[in-house]
Amino acid sequence: MKRSGTLLTILALAFALAPAASAQKIRSAEQGAARIQFDAFPHTGKNTTVRNGDLAWSETARHADAVRLLDAVPARTRPGHTDGIDAGSLLTGYRLSSGMVWCAAPSAAAINKAAQCLRDLDNDGTFDAAQVTEWRHAGDEGFEAYVKTIIPMSKAHYEKIDAASLPATRAGAVFAGMKKGTPQFQVVFGPTRLEEPIGCTLVEAGICDFLGVRIRFTEGADKGLILTFESAADSRVFEPYRLAFPKDFG
């Protein structure tokens, strides 16, 4: 995962953007992170035995923040060619240190899988700045987006939408061993996986919570760990920036 240690550049966008936006320190390049909304947990009452590296469970999830673009945005020619965005397109949100950025999905036909990401720096309901991100491949809009090269743009309207409008994506947790007697997991969303394992929050001996799921864990045969999924919260939102980007997101 890329970190946002890039040299900070304060852009003078006052000639094109509102005064409130020009007062911000906008990074020319930064790692943004998404919130992930999980669907109803499908494994309550079931159990499984896992060893290090095993998929503990799979389910479905989607981005928690999304908008619909109401005005078309033209293609960019620098850096390189980046496709325009059609009116009506759905954009997914990533949190930056100075606000949100909303990214288009990469075109399946694009060679470098670059896509435009849009900013509303003065929060007036219209996009007024654009950046670029590059996905590994189409469908790779996962936990984070590394955005760069901010420029002013002609205003484009958008509206916020319910995340349920977005297609569901495969998600889940991979067992990453034990640490201080507590299970550790790596969160999976689409083709991406958080590199750093996250500890299951211990509730009492042999019981912990992870991703809003109450898990009972006991040692099984042949060094396996038996996980029993006892219950799950009705609403489960994962915010990886609180764990992976503490310096930027607090």
DSSP 223: G
What percent of the chain stands above pLDDT 90? 61
- The whole-number pLDDT of residue 8 equals 32
What is the CB-side half-sphere exposure of residue 114 using CA atoms within 13 A? 19
* Euclidean distance between CA atoms 41 and 52, whole angstroms: 22
Tokens matching residue 146: 């590394």
* Euclidean distance between CA atoms 104 and 220, whole angstroms: 45
Q: Give the three-class secondary structure for 23.
A: coil
Q: How confident is the model at residue 139 (pLDDT cuts 50, 70, 90)?
A: low
Q: How confident is the model at residue 141 (pLDDT cuts 50, 70, 90)?
A: low
- The whole-number pLDDT of residue 223 equals 84
* Euclidean distance between CA atoms 229 and 48, whole angstroms: 9
- The full DSSP string for 189-216 is ETTEE-SS-EEPEEEETTEEEETTEEEE
Q: How confident is the model at residue 7 (pLDDT cuts 50, 70, 90)?
A: very low
Q: Domain ranges in the chain?
A: 19-32+64-164, 35-62+166-249
What is the CB-side half-sphere exposure of residue 163 using CA atoms within 13 A? 17
- The whole-number pLDDT of residue 108 equals 64
- The whole-number pLDDT of residue 112 equals 63
Kindly calculate the radius of gyration of the chain based on its CA atoms and give it in whole angstroms: 20
**Amino acid, single-letter form, for residue 238:** F
